[in-house]
Structure 1
Amino acid sequence: MQKSISFKNINISFSDLGKGQAIILLHGFLENKTMWKGVEKELSKRNRVIAIDLLGHGETDCLGYVHHLDLFSEAIEAVLKSLKLRRFYLIGHSLGGYIALTLANRNVAKVKGICLLNSTSNEDDQERKALRLRANTMAQHNFENLIRMSFINLFTASSREKFKSEINTALSEAMHTKVQSYIAANEGMRLRPNQNHVLANNSFKKLIIAGKKDPVLSYEKSVEEASATKTELETLTNGHMSHIENLEELQDLLKEFVK
């Protein structure tokens, strides 16, 4: 069921499916709640699954020109409050994982578990921060090509051919992103702090799902991160978009995670 609430004079859009323990799904950059369709179908058989359009994505509008992780989290907290959810699991893909960490840090007693899907608790290194600044400049002049380039680069070369139809559908969704939304989210990611402590210092269930061939996040660094923060690590065979490239395996991992 599609729902929305008002937050700071904008609408936050989300879906709410199934009954049982609550699972909050947070999509990644240039995505929206529809990315979770394959996951929702399985998880909602025995759980209540809420997938939220993050600020500036899908059917949720922007709030200013920088979407800090705390602002993303405030919007999600407003949804959770409206649904009167006391405890929940958090599953975040890429950007959604960064937000899930911030949300967990703000609501430790309410979190049953957190899963970082193709995501990290590490901050951007200097090279990545510089790339984000250049992308924000490019967004103001050649936005469509930037979106296409950014999105296609999330997939391995073999996946681009094997999942051509699914990628075209997801790219079509990404093309609806507005320039302001792109820059606001990209700035939020550039400015985010290291959040290793959220994993290392809390006792809720923790899982990192990493792609062995992820072109965005170093698999070796994910292994190091999991070890340093005492977080379980599961490895999938492909790249950054596990919900497309490794859907069946992902479904099984997430069902086990929330069991």
Structure 2
Amino acid sequence: MILEYKNANIFYTDEGKGTAVVLIHGFLENTAMWQNIVPALSKKNRIITIDLLGHGKSDCLGYIHSMEMFAETINAVLKHLKIRKCILVGHSLGGYVTLAFAEKYPQKIKGLCLLNSTSNEDDEERKTLRLRANKMIQHNFTNMVRMSFANLFGKKSKKLYKEEINAALQEALQTPIQGYIAAQEGMRIRTSRNSILIKNDFKKLIIIGEKDPVLDFETSLEEAKKTNTELVVFPNGHMSHIENKEELITVLKEFVKKL
């Protein structure tokens, strides 16, 4: 389904009945990343998935997609669907967006799950890498995206989940360059939102991969402890919806059931 927001089309799906759970994909992903998760969760819940600006079937809205702007588009979809309270689950970039949403609309949050994500801001090295990527992507989009994807998986996962990884890569390659650049810049300028996890009393969960090449494992452990957030650790990497699909479904079902 399509909602028009500030002259941009925002794509979303809406399945099932019950507690509203909003699934927000990561960078270079779209609603397709949840296709194996939605059927299991929608049996007892109302599951909404949304293509972030510049991803999937959603349009771009300028040249910087800040986390706040992403959050506003999600709020527009929820208002359109007349959803007053929900549980948010965000993968990677999607996690940063859930935190921005919780900061702007705390009264709308029943629970929040960061999936392979963090409430920390980028360190200086990561910020520099994003700037460099935005320059390089304009000249070599396909190779850059392929390389980025390859770096997300270890040798074992690459063999075990070859088909799933290739399908995700094909989706990533559909992302417009403007969407890539706008999201990278939005992630680069985002601030730390540790305080959102610390000061709010809604249910919180962080799910991390022990071998995540994007997020430092020890830093994630420290973050969960510092913010007093429940932590679940999977044995693999950054793409838990591929590498630990069944375990993820079980954990999300339990998380939603408690609320």
TM-score w.r.t. length of structure 1: 0.98
Tell me if the contact between 1:92 and 1:100 (Cα under 8 Å) persists in the aligned partners: yes
Structure 2 stretches lacking a partner, 5+ long? none
Q: Which residue of 2 aligns with 1:137?
A: 135
Does residue 258 of the first structure (1) align with residue 256 of the second (2)? yes
Q: How does 1:178-189 map to 2 (within 5 A)?
A: 178-189=176-187
Kindly indicate whether the alpha-carbon contact (under 8 Å) linking 1:54 and 1:60 is maintained by their aligned counterparts in 2.
yes
**Residue identity opposite 1:67 in structure 2:** H
Q: Is the 8 A contact 1:156 1:214 kept in 2?
A: no
How many Å separate the matches in 1 of 2:204 and 2:73? 23
Structure 1 equivalent of residue 66 of structure 2: 68
Question: Contact (CA 8 Å) 1:26, 1:92: kept in 2 or not?
Answer: yes
Task: Choose from 118, 125, 128 the match for 1:127.
Answer: 125
Aligned to 1:110: 108
Q: Which residue of 2 aligns with 1:165?
A: 163
Moved over 6 A (4+): none
Q: How does 1:1-259 map to 2 (within 5 A)?
A: 3-259=1-257
SS of alignment partner, residue 181 of structure 2: helix
User: Cα deviation per residue 1:188-233 (whole Å; 9 max; x = unaligned)?
Assistant: 0000000000001100000000000000001111100000000000
Structure 1 residue runs of 5 or longer lacking an equivalent are none
- Deviation, 1:157, is 2.0
SS at match of 1:217: coil
In the aligned structure 2, how far is the partner of 1:158 from the partner of 1:124?
Answer: 28
Task: Give the whole-Å Cα distance in 2 for the aligned partners of 1:135 and 1:110.
Answer: 35
Whether the 8 Å CA contact 1:238–1:245 is kept in 2: the answer is yes
1:66–1:188 contact (8 Å) kept in structure 2: yes
Q: Output one character per residue of 1:216-254: Cα deviation in whole Å (capped at 9) or x when no partner.
A: 001111100000000000000100000000000000000
- Separation in 2, partners of 1:43, 1:163: 22
Instruction: Compute the RMSD of aligned alpha carbons.
Output: 0.6
Q: Deviations over 1:97-116 (max 9, x none)?
A: 00000001111111000000
- Give the number of aligned pairs: 257
Q: CA deviation digits over 1:98-155, x for unaligned, max 9?
A: 0000001111111000000000000000000000010000011111100101112111
**Equivalent pair of 1:26/1:93 in contact (CA under 8 Å):** yes
Identity among equivalent positions (%) equals 60
Determine if contact 1:115/1:207 at 8 Å carries over to the other structure: yes
What is the distance in 2 between the residues matched to 1:71 and 1:167?
29
Output one character per residue of 1:62-83: Cα deviation in whole Å (capped at 9) or x when no partner: 0010001111111111000000
